[in-house]
Amino acid sequence: MIADNIVHFARVLRGAGMAIGPDRVLAALAAVELVGLQRRDDVHAALSAVMLERHEQQALFDVAFDTFWRDPKLLEQMMYLLLPKISGRGDQQRTPRVNRLAEALAAPRAPEPPNPANQSAKEELQFETHFTFSDRERLQKADFESMTTAEFELAKKLAEELPLPVQPVRRRRHEAATSARHGGRLDLRATLLHMARQPHTLKPLYTRPREELPSLVVLIDISGSMDRYSRLLLHYVHGLMRRALRVHTLTFGTRLTHITRCLRERDPDVALRLADEQVHDWKGGTRIASALHEFNQLWARRLLGANAAVLLVTDGLDRDEHGDLSAAAAQLHRMAHQVVWLNPLLRYEGFQAKASGVRALLPHVDRFLPVHNLASLADLGDALRAPPLSPHTLLH
């Protein structure tokens, strides 16, 4: 029955990472009923029209359609899509997510007979078998966009355990120290006050400058082209907040949303579910200029105190026709201690600052770093401590 096949096809696409809900399945059934089953191309066009939500998913959908409906040239198409794509003028195309499609199309393994006595041990052994030490090492260099669903779930767990990207800074206020060997110096006032209470004792007291971790403000682009990266960056930020680092997180696509309170939940699944409920512009357009202008007007004075740094996570592909991105970025740079731009497009060796949004942002950032795998996140702290490279060199 064609309805059962369409439902099964929707499950394959969902397993490959596409957001296919019951509404899209019903729309697909109605579309196929309208165009009929006489021509294969009509069915392909009807299903793609109602199931796709952005252009980047077209290649994955085409491979899934040909595989599911048994196209005779499947092997040639799969080999072609596995080859790296190269395009000019800084507009880089990503390799289709064939790994996740192969995982979704794979036949489920036959379950082994359950053994209640050793069930927990078997589950732990299975996890370690699928993700050995070498697998985790390879996962550090894997691009978030090319990971399978299982690899991406593990990457989210590993991201929450990555080291902090900032170092403690010394404040003008002091705190008590145990001795001079721990960086303290004699606190004459506290020593005399202690002697006044107990004149028969002489116990020197020490003090040292207080060291605190600076706060971070993370602005994450959640548009369609950044979906895979923003999801994992939210898990990374959640891990930073669990370790008592003061992090304020805002998302932007077509609007700006403050989700710090959602990410304070200890359970990452609960935290991300609350964020999903609060954010209404996932995988939409990108209005960077309007988002930065709104942040400068409503949030900057409240969040950018005490040497706070800004992590701006976006590919810089602005589609805001009514905002002045350069002016908004310049104002943000004046108020923040430093602005660090994390851009997944920097993973391409031939990246050039050709897009207008990229050229408008570059003069107003202190760091311009890639963020496309776990290794780039782990090296973020070392990159922030290194001398900054002039962003003007990327304009030429």
Local confidence band at 292 (pLDDT 50, 70, 90 cut-offs): very high
pLDDT: which is higher, 361 or 131: 361
pLDDT of residue 122: 41
What DSSP assignment string belongs to 367-395? EEEE-SSHHHHHTHHHHHHSPPPPGGGGG
Residues 369-391, mean pLDDT to the nearest whole number: 74
Report the b/e string of 340-359 with b at 16+ CB within 10 A.
bbbbbbbbeeeebbebebbe
Q: What is the pLDDT of residues 45-58, one digit of tens each?
A: 989 888 887 776 78
pLDDT at 61 over 90: no
Four-way CATH pick for 216-395: 3.40.50.410, 3.40.50.150, 1.20.1250.20, 3.40.50.300: 3.40.50.410
**Could you state, in order of their start, the residue ranges of all structural domains in the chain?**
2-92, 173-212, 216-395
Collapsing DSSP to helix, strand or coil, 3 comes out as: helix
Query: Average pLDDT for residues 375-388, to the nearest whole number?
Result: 74
Least confident of 60-69, 79-88, 208-217: 79-88
Model pLDDT, residue 169: 66
pLDDT at 393: 52
Please report the pLDDT score of residue 136 as a whole number: 63
What's the pLDDT score for residue 179? Answer: 74
Whether residue 310 has pLDDT greater than 60: yes
pTM greater than the 0.75 cutoff: no
Above 80 in pLDDT, residue 271? yes
Alpha helix positions (H), 200-265: 227-242, 260-263
Q: Phi/psi at 256 (nearest 5 deg)?
A: -105, 130
- Mean pLDDT for 133-160 is 72
Q: What is the pLDDT of residue 364?
A: 92
Structure tokens at 136: 């985790």
